[in-house]
Structure 1
Amino acid sequence: MTSASVESRPRRSAARAGSAFLTTHPRTRLALLLAAPLFWLVVVYIVALALLLVTAFWSVDSFTGEITTEFTLDNIIEVVTGSLYQTVTLRTVGVALAVTLIDVVLALPIAFFMAKVASPRMQRVLVILVLTPLWASYLVKAYAWRSVLSQDGILEWLLAPFGGHTPGYGLPATIITLSYLWLPYVILPIYAGLERVPDSLLEASGDLGGKSWSTLRLVVFPLILPAIIAGTIFSFSLSLGDYITVNIVGGANQMLGNLVYTNVGAANNLPLASAIALIPIVIIFGYLFLVRRTGALDNL
């Protein structure tokens, strides 16, 4: 018997013992499987948010430009009471709400057709078509809409015979572009919710004399409301934090993301940027708190 085979026996026995231990202790096995992703989540997300919160209570020395780690509420007070930040916050929330409303209105008929009208083969094709825009670069899509909405763009060319004009750059262009960017994120949860609605319920409603609109309003809508809210979480939160689209098609209009970017880069005021960044975080956490009992979070 060679020395190599003798050395391999303890290794195999240790491996078997470890395998037997994990087999009989499912919680330990689950903990080991989740250790790496949970560590990444804690370090990248929770710790980053904690540092962001702490930084918001620091200040920048006006002479040296260095960050002073002494506790102060100046940044929070400035963000809460400053007219600029109030105006930008209202503008940002208004844009996010408009984008969310537009996406829900567009997503409902598309998702309903995919789930209840299209054949199984057509469903697969439509799902691919909905997902296809997500494969393209964010910047490519944003600049494509900049070209479409420009004064010499294709939209101007299409509207010219009817005396119409393109909205150009500004908040309308921002809303249009963001609605296009986040529409797939709204369609998919609603489509998944509609798939879970039994066809027998629709047939029973029709047998009992229910008209199409009554069936949709009284039977389908209450069942897919959590899925709709789940889609709005995506469009609303993504619009709140966006700043690239505003820079590309928004003209001189600013949103909260632009103020954060400006204070981090040009102004070199990280504490104030952190205080501004807390606004969309507080808004989205408040929204999640309101919808947590609807079951929407289970559809994400």
Structure 2
Amino acid sequence: MTVDTPTRPVGRPIVPAPRDTVARRGSVFLSRHPRLRLSLLLSAPMFWLGLVYIAALAALLITALWTVDTFTGTISQTWTLDNIIAVLTGSLYQTVTLRTVGVALLVTLVDILIALPIAFFMAKVASARLQRVLVIAVLMPLWASYLVKAYAWRSVLSRDGIFEWLVAPFGGQTPGYGLPATIITLSYLWLPYVILPIYAGLERVPDSLLEASGDLGGKTWSTLRLVVLPMIWPAIIAGSIFSFSLSLGDYITVNIVGGANQMLGNLVYTNVGAANNLPLAAAIALIPIVIIFAYLAAVRRTGALDNL
């Protein structure tokens, strides 16, 4: 008597049954709990953000509450509000704060006015090949050193520089060193950070909307003001955040082309280095932090950040 044994079809490999390992059980558990999986995925970057950013801000606030011993020059960890009161009531700090906010606002306005036509041409007029060339051209200044660009503008705006050579036949004069040179240099430095968000926002505007506006009798400026501008407003806000915040904390450009005009970053640098007064420097550094938080809160109330 013969017993028939089951035969395996030719060409079909034998697949072993999956083993119930710890890794497999963990994978199945995470697949059934997507919120837990997302929490574990974000835990590392959120921990790093809390360590580097939030902890640094807390340390800055604590340092601002300390004092410096006038005899030994050492930091005394005695908590007091003297530094913050001195910063809020001192006429020097009020003047420098107004100057810093004014320069940051002017730099932001100049960058937006320059970036809008450039980004519009890149997104809606240029061909696909020319778009790539223009994007590379916008990014190229970011490959150069910050100091090289700042000193280049110092040379351009100096007496007997390139700018004076260009405007002298027309009766013009170089602005030299000072606030105008600071605004020009900072506007150049942060312009790519404003062009790229606006360019990305304009790319998301459908061409059909522009054609529909033209078919309905809309003029060029009416189309830009009523159709394009509301749709790219979040992109403009994003670019303004970059230029405004970067200008608030800058101090190197002011040292190079600003002349005797100081900004908040220069006061922080002076108190950290020459004066060796770290608590007062921390108190001054709280001013641009409060300003940028107030700026973000004002922008958020407009609803522009909801569509970013």
Separation of aligned partners in 2, 1:124 and 1:32 = 38
The aligned residue for residue 11 of structure 2 is none
- Normalized per residue, the structure richer in helix is 1
- 1:225 aligned residue: 233
Tell me which residue corresponds to 1:158. Answer: 166
Q: Give, as a single letter, the amino acid of the residue that structure 2 aligns with 1:39.
A: F
Cα shift at 1:12: 9.2
Which among 18, 26, 37 is matched to residue 29 of structure 1?
A: 37
Tell me which residue corresponds to 2:244.
236
**Structure-1 separation of matches of 2:302 and 2:233:** 8
What is aligned with 2:96?
Answer: 88
Q: 1:152, CA displacement in angstroms?
A: 2.8
Alpha-carbon deviation of 1:29? 2.9
- Shift of the 208–263 alpha-carbon distance from structure 1 to 2, 3 Å rule, reads same
Where do 1:149-228 residues align within 5 Å? 149-228=157-236
Specify the alignment match of 2:154 in structure 1. Answer: 146
Q: Find the aligned partners of 2:306 and 2:152 in 1 and give their Cα distance.
A: 34
Residues 1-300 of structure 1 aligned to structure 2 (within 5 Å):
13-297=21-305
Shift of 1:130: 1.0
Render the CA deviation track for 1:223-271: whole Å, top value 9, x for unaligned.
2112111111111111000000001111111000000000011111111
SS of residue matched to 1:260 = helix
Q: Which residue of the partner structure matches residue 7 of structure 1?
A: none
Structure 2: which 5+ runs fail to align? 1-18
> After superposition, what is the alpha-carbon deviation per residue over 1:84-109, rounded to whole angstroms, capped at 9, x for unaligned?
00110111011111101100100111
Report the secondary structure of 1:252's partner residue. Answer: coil
Equivalent residue of 1:21, what SS? Answer: helix
CA distance in 1, matches of 2:76, 2:304: 42
Q: Under a length normalisation based on structure 2, what TM-score does the superposition of the two structures give?
A: 0.89
Indicate the larger mover: 171-180 or 213-222.
213-222
Q: Give the Cα–Cα distance (whole angstroms) in 1 for the partners of residues 69 and 259 of structure 2.
A: 32
Note if contact 1:230-1:299 (Cα within 8 Å) is conserved in structure 2. no
Give the root-mean-square deviation of aligned CA atoms.
Answer: 1.7
Q: Deviations over 1:61-97 (max 9, x none)?
A: 1112121222211111111110100110111011111
Cα offset, 1:295, TM superposition:
4.3
2:250 and 2:233 mapped to 1: Cα distance?
Answer: 26
Identity %: 83
Deviation at 1:299, TM superposition (A): 6.4
The 3 A distance-change label for structure 1 pair 12 and 68 is: farther
How far is 1:212 from its partner?
A: 0.5
Q: Distance in 2 between matches of 1:140 and 1:298?
A: 38
- Seen in structure 2, the aligned counterparts of structure 1 residues 299 and 249 have a Cα distance that, compared at 3 Å, is farther
Q: What corresponds to 2:7 in structure 1?
A: none
**Alignment partners' CA distance in 2, 1:110 and 1:298:** 25
TM-score for both structures, normalised by structure 1: 0.92
Letter in 2 for 1:85: Y
1:189–1:299 contact (8 Å) kept in structure 2: no
Could you list the structure 1 runs, at least 4 aligned residues long, displaced by more than 4 angstroms after superposition.
none
| Alpha-carbon shift at residue 14 of structure 1 (Å) | 3.3
Question: What is the total number of aligned residue pairs between the two structures?
Answer: 290
Shift of the alpha carbon at 1:298?
5.2
Structure 2 CA distance for aligned equivalents of residues 232 and 252 of structure 1: 27
- The separation in 2 between residues aligned to 1:195 and 1:298, in whole angstroms, is 18
Say which SS state the counterpart of residue 290 (structure 1) adopts.
Answer: helix
Q: How big is each residue's C-alpha offset from its partner over 1:159-191, in whole Å with a ceiling of 9 and x where there is no partner?
A: 222232211111111000000000111111111
The 1-side partners of 2:301 and 2:39 are apart by 28
